Amino acid sequence: MSILIYEPDPLVCSDINETLSAAFPQCKIDVLEAFDITKVVERISEIAVAVFSVTQEEFQQWRPEIRNLRAWFPVVLIVDDTPQPGEVDVDLDYLPRPFSSTTLLKTVSDALSDLR
């Protein structure tokens, strides 16, 4: 199984990769160069959890597709602001910026253990 990461900032992506690699050594880490939903779907059966850092515009554009991914694996969205009530998709887990390695691990662990 793999953990799929999309984070456009190379330094932040490297930190996420290192943190998750250390915490989940049994999982392969795959990094998307660009947010491409077709690349995600191609790997759908291999993914244990996805961590996507998307802009509000990307999220709105791909919202139905991102929500549908939740039927296959947990999705953690790294966002600039905590979503307001009414904007929250209960099927998704949110991690507001700025975040620490501790909050990243807690959010990913909670997503993996959540059987919604």
Fold of 2-109: Rossmann fold (3.40.50)
Task: Summarize pLDDT for 42-66 with one digit per residue, the tens.
Answer: 999 999 999 999 888 888 888 899 9
Q: Are 20 and 3 in contact (CB under 8 A)?
A: yes
Expressed in angstroms, the distance from the first to the final Cα of the chain is 20
Question: Residues near 26 by Cβ (< 8 Å), separated by ≥ 6?
Answer: 1
What is the domain partition of the chain in residue ranges?
2-109
Q: Are 49 and 73 in contact (CB under 8 A)?
A: yes
Q: What is the model's pLDDT at position 116?
A: 44
Task: Summarize pLDDT for 69-81 with one digit per residue, the tens.
Answer: 999 999 999 988 7
Q: What is the model's pLDDT at position 90?
A: 73
Residue 89 has pLDDT above 80, yes or no: no
Residue 84 has pLDDT above 80, yes or no: no
Q: Are 108 and 77 in contact (CB under 8 A)?
A: no
The rounded distance, in Å, linking the Cα atoms of 66 and 20 is 21
Sign of the CA dihedral with 10 first, then 16, 18, and 20 last = negative
pTM exceeds 0.85, yes or no: yes
